[in-house]
A and B are shown apart, each in its own frame.
Chain A
Amino acid sequence: MTEIGVKLAFALGQIAVVLAIVLLTVMLLTLAERKVLGWMQDRMGPMEVGPYGILQPIADGLKLFFKEDIIPAGANRLMFSLAPILALVPALIGFAVIPFGPTITWNGEPIKPFVISDINIGILYILAFTSIGAYGIILGGWASNSKYSLLGGLRSAAQVISYELNVGLAIVGVLLLAGSLSLVTITEAQSGGFWHWFVIAWPAPQLLAFVVYVISSVAETNRVPFDLPEAESELVAGFFTEYSGMRFAFFFLAEYANMILVSCIATILFLGGWNAPYPGTIIEHVFGSPDFAFIENIFWFTVKVYFFLFLFFWLRATLPRLRYDQLMRFGWKVMLPIALGNVVLTSIAAYFFPTGTP
């Protein structure tokens, strides 16, 4: 009985910490994005609130919290209220299976303090839930009773269908090599130096799959250059045109949480997750204290995730938005064949050069 109590308290603590870290990162990202965009465009970004504008996310949060909550006339109230939650919850729930750090040994028993739940279908679970997030966008667009929102929602539906497929196919190669759907197992299969990371690992480098995954994940999170659902210049603000106050903030949070989530997945699947680019860890080899090696592991995980987040900003600062038909053509005629070909090649390679994993 007490054991269950301890486990429950531990799990709840993990959930609280992960949620807090994710939401803090979102706050950081809203500031970092504007700063990075500004710097890339010879501007300064926010400068007014606090020194160099570092308190801007707090000011934004307060502003959104106190804004009037408007439900447009003729909107479907239930759907309108449900949509932001439907967008946010799946984005946050995905973090339940993300391993941020390694399995460590405590009292002779291996425990996993850096992943809330290591279920054996981790990646499938994430794919399933991120798809639900698309409903939030589509329903939000439909329930607003506004043509811009509806168009944004429809675009989002088409976009998610096209690119979800590519994401699924792009990761199949990794799953074939790792022989598991659990994110912890996938990460552990890539330990021992950057030449074991699946993006370049023998026998089947997943470089093409990696490119396909990154492009598709940008499309899935509705970021520039695939931000058609919220195209400001055409659709005002797309699916959340009619949203205000906290509901708008929910969509915003969902978008950034999704960004973090896809960055985490890209890190885990292709760039070796928490593994350092050299075998083992410096803390273990040089200082001889394997108990603290997780610090270095978590550091590497963070670095890789932030690299992807920076890539999102970088793309946004550079690229113009794609046209709708270009987006569709690119998704179905270019990315899908590449992803499929990669699956075939990887299967053949994995058949002839079995790597030992079942």
Chain B
Amino acid sequence: MMPSALPTPRSTPLTRLRDWVKTITFYELLVGMKATMTHFLNYRPITLQYPHEKRTLPDSYRGMLALLRYDDGTEKCVGCDLCEAACPSRVIRVVSAEVPGEPTKRYSKEYYMDMTRCLFCGLCVDACPVDALGMTREFEWAVYDKRDLHLNKQQLLAIGDRSYPVREKRLELQHPNVAFFNVAFQHLPQKPE
């Protein structure tokens, strides 16, 4: 019963009498009842009335996944399949194809996510070499029909469009130093289009 780490109190007639009195007067129960009564009288709820008030999300919040675009509207995804390989839950399916007329470039012809299985681990985002995937701060994705959670490329792009209004420059148009870190800083000198 008692953890062995605690020193066992010596059992003298006095302690036994005390324990007996405690038992017959329901001492332990009364201690518990006092605790609940204290909370009842100092009523300070920690409830958040969810749909009416919402928590501030932490900065690193991992919400709904989205496909991103460059600022000229072209899709970032190059159809490399790395996200599909990285995903532990087999959420992603990529059908990659050559860009018509440009045999050195590939893109994802079709891109599906089965969000019913996603566990929002973020491994796909880490795996993507061109940062084509992003995790938004959306989380209210309850639906009536489970099939509404099977998203295609258009839907994923739309989520990205509404969640990332500020987009990066095309990779090959960015300043080499900036392209190295792969972030867009508008005030830095950039290649002319």
Interface positions of A (Cβ within 8 A of B): 36, 38-44, 47, 314-315, 317-319
Contacts and interface: CB of A to CB of B under 8 A. Distances in A.
15 contacts: A40-B37, A40-B39, A41-B36, A41-B39, A42-B39, A42-B47, A43-B45, A47-B47, A47-B49, A314-B33, A318-B29, A318-B32, A318-B33, A318-B36, A319-B29
A36 B40 contact: yes
Contacts, number: 39
B144 interface: no
A312 to B, nearest CB: 12
Contacts of A36: 40
A42 B36 contact: no
B18 interface: no
Contact of B37 (A38, A44, A314): A314
B39 A39 contact: yes
Nearest to A338: B24
Interface in B1-44: 29, 32-33, 35-37, 39-40, 43-44
B142 interface: no
Contact of B47 (A44, A314, A318, A319): A44
Given A314-B37, A317-B36, A42 B45 contact: yes
A315 B33 CA distance: 7
Given A317-B36, A317-B40, A318-B33, 11 more contacts: A39-B39, A39-B43, A40-B36, A40-B39, A42-B43, A42-B46, A43-B47, A44-B45, A314-B33, A318-B35, A318-B36
B39 A319 contact: no
Nearest to B49: A47
Most-contacted residue by chain A among B35, B37, B44, B45 (CB, 10 A): B45
Contacts of B33: 314-315, 318
Chain A, interface SS category: helix
B22 to A, nearest CB: 15
A319 B45 CA distance: 21
Contacts of A317: 36, 40
Contacts of A42: 39, 43-47
A318 B32 CA distance: 6
CB-CB nearest 3 A-B residue pairs:
A40-B36, A44-B47, A318-B32
A43 B36 CA distance: 12
A316 to B, nearest CB: 10
A40 B40 CA distance: 4
Given A42-B45, A47-B49, A319 B40 contact: no
A319 B37 CA distance: 13
A319 B32 contact: yes
A158 B40 CA distance: 34
A319 B32 CA distance: 8
Nearest to B48: A44
Contact of A38 (B32, B35, B45, B49): B45
Contacts of A44: 45, 47, 49
A315 B40 CA distance: 13
A116 B65 CA distance: 67
Nearest to A317: B36
Contacts of B44: 42
A44 B43 CA distance: 9
A234 to B, nearest CB: 22
Contacts of B45: 38-39, 42-44
Contacts of A40: 36-37, 39-40
Contacts of B47: 42-44, 47
A44 B29 CA distance: 24
B131 to A, nearest CB: 42
B53 to A, nearest CB: 11
A47 B49 CA distance: 8
Interface string B142-183: 000000000000000000000000000000000000000000
Nearest to B43: A39
Contacts of A318: 29, 32-33, 35-36
Nearest to A47: B49
A319 B29 CA distance: 8
A308 to B, nearest CB: 14
A318 B45 CA distance: 17
Contacts of B49: 44, 47
A74 B20 CA distance: 51
Interface string B36-76: 11011001111101000000000000000000000000000
